[in-house]
Amino acid sequence: MVILEILRLYHLLYIYIYLVFITIGGHLAKQNDSSRKYDWISYAGSYEENEMSYALSYKKFSLAVLGLQKSYRYYFKTDIASFYSMLNMGILFNEIQISCKNESARSLMFYRKFLEYFGNGRFPVVSDNIGLSYIATVIYLRKFDEMLKENIDNDSLIFDYQILRYVDDLYIAFNCDQSNYNKVSKHLKRYLQEVASKMNLKLNFQKQKVTETKNISDDVYANVYDYMVNDEDIRYSDRYDESQIIKLIDNLLELPDDVSHEDIEKTIINVLDDHKFGFYYTEVLNWYIYKNRSVFTNSRIIDGLDRLLEKIDIFENFPKQFGRMIINTEDDNLIRKYLNKIFTLFRTNPTPKFIEFLAKEYLLAHNFKHHDLKEYICIHSPELYQYITTYCEGNYSIPKTRNYNNNYLERMNNDPILNYLWFRYKYAKNESENLEEFAYYKNYFDRRLTYFFAAMGESGVISKKGKISFQQTYNVQNVKKVLKDWKTKGFNYSDEDEEKLIEIYRTRNKNPVSHASSELLYKNGTFFELSGYIQFLDDLLNRVKKFVVNEVEG
């Protein structure tokens, strides 16, 4: 389903993942002991200033770019194409090791697998996340900056220069003899191409520009007018009112039924973009929808949206925005018509995917209280319905783990190595790495089983100093002996279970990830076999947990 696919791609299905990215970035920022920390580099936010969004840092960057006019005659502008998705994870973690020398191998492995897991093998792309922005901007491009600066320093044709970079947007202002202007321009292009190639990056040639700094204001994409004059945030209300929305709706109504996304976007741009003050149409549209909602109660706008609803296919291109426009009217007749359109399109086969967005926007605005609409979603979009019932209705929170009186069960709850083994197992499963998946789950099983043995006071598991020996569960004979003894106390354990357990331990010793014999490399059909073993071990652990907790906790 569309909504679930977008949430998957942006990795925000759980909000805590977004926060974990921020935490990892902040931790690496503290650990970064690199002697090179250029003040001309900006990322989306600032850990030093406790700024968690990009707005202020981008404004400061924009002002700094405009300030280049005072001291420099020329400037070179470029950016990196598809920056985040192009980041090479091998290069990134080599840079992390250089910049953060005190990080452990375990932590580095976790960070890498975590990023790859939620980035589908690549660096994750999450809008306005300070953690990911810091990692990409400051750490990944460390060597890029050093090589670029070294090349420019050694260029005798350049008198003086200044570099400004915001994530992947790069400005190089410089002074040189007018007669050498073309040569310097070529040199800068060559330097950038060389360093980008070494960092496995590609420059966006379509956005490259070399010209005089008197033209630089044309490139500064931000509203810096109020910020410079009044030190205030953007004030769209000085330049926009109901008339722009009325004009936008009228222009959209004139479009043909089979209009393309590009034509709709062009129509919105023509009405809402303001290049003089750097207003971009999406920002203006969001200002209307979320901060100036009363504008949609205008009778002419309500009438226009009513007619636009008859051309609902237009909504497919910007469903969230158009849906919110109608909801903001608070007009009962229009909203009823809007819902009827949604119900009708839910019954079509195949169901247009943008209808899920329209339905979701209505439910979000009404605290998910519309029984009939949710029933339709349940029938036609069961995955979306599951998402709504699980994460949207009420206050969703991550369940807390149970607190145990038994010292060893409580230690198991807080064992970071167990969490690491579980994560590696889930990562391997996600990547369909069957041998690794089995190896990590088996190690997870052994370690957790040892904690249960310790909680029951089994001999040989706990040393005189109270330390746990995890070697006991490596041997199937030790495990068999304990589980048979528990069987006499009521533990659910059969002869078939024992045979399966012996078979699994033998298979573990054939896994090339765990053992040199590597016999599984020559065996066909291991995928279903190993998956079945994991299911069995998972069930056995659940039975063990239930039995042990009942025995030691009462």
Report the SS3 class of residue 218.
helix
16-38 b/e with 16+ CB inside 10 Å = b?
ebbeebbebbebbbeebeeeeee
Residue 98 burial by CB count (10 A; 0-12/13-18/19+): exposed, middle or buried? Answer: middle
Strand duo 209-212 + 74-79: pairing: antiparallel
Pair of tokens at residue 443: 């190690």
* Residue 4: per-residue pLDDT: 38
CA 461 distance to own-chain centroid = 42
Rounded CA gap, 113 and 90, in Å?
A: 12
CA distance 33 to 48: 15
222, 273 contact by CB (below 8 A): no
* DSSP track, 394-421: S---PPPPPP-SSHHHHHHHT-HHHHHH
AA letter at 531: S
How far apart, in whole angstroms, are the C-alpha atoms of residue 216 and residue 171? 10
List the alpha helices (DSSP H) in 230-353. Answer: 242-253, 261-272, 281-286, 299-308, 319-329, 332-346
| Residue for token pair 């840079």 | 95
Question: What distance lies between CA 176 and its chain's CA centroid?
Answer: 43
pLDDT at site 553: 85
What H or E segment, with its residue span, contains residue 19? Answer: helix 15-31
Instruction: For the full predicted model, state whether its pTM sits above 0.85.
Output: no
Question: Pick from 98, 99, 78, 95: which is nearest to 163 by CA?
Answer: 78
Task: Pick the closest to residue 449 from 491, 401, 499, 509 (CA basis).
Answer: 491
Residue 345 CA, chain-centre distance (Å), reads 31
Contact (Cβ atoms closer than 8 angstroms) between residue 272 and residue 244:
yes
Decide the pairing of beta strands 160-166 and 41-42. parallel
Give yes or no for a cis peptide into 512 (omega within 30° of 0). no
pLDDT at 225: 45
pLDDT score of 365: 66
CA angle 178, 184, 186 (to 5 degrees): 130
Which mean pLDDT values do the consecutive 10-residue runs of the chain (554 residues) have? 39 64 91 74 86 79 88 92 87 89 82 84 83 92 92 94 92 95 94 92 84 82 45 62 90 87 86 67 80 89 91 82 88 86 78 72 67 70 66 53 84 89 85 86 94 92 83 90 93 93 90 79 73 93 94 84
Tokens, residue 279: 């207003």
Task: Give me the residue label for tokens 């722009």.
Answer: 244
Distance of CA 340 to the CA centre of its chain: 35
Residue 176 main-chain phi, psi, to 5 deg: -160, 170
* Strand positions, DSSP E, 104-245: 160-166, 169-175, 209-212
Question: 448-464: buried (b, 16+ CB within 10 Å) or exposed (e) per residue?
Answer: bbbbbbbbbebeebbee
pLDDT at 387: 61
Place of tokens 């237009």: 314
Look at residue 74 and give its three-state secondary structure.
strand
Half-sphere exposure of 85 (CA within 13 A, CB side): 6
Instruction: From 413, 404, 409, 343, select the one nearest 379 (Cα to Cα).
Output: 343
The DSSP 8-state label assigned to residue 137 in this structure reads: I
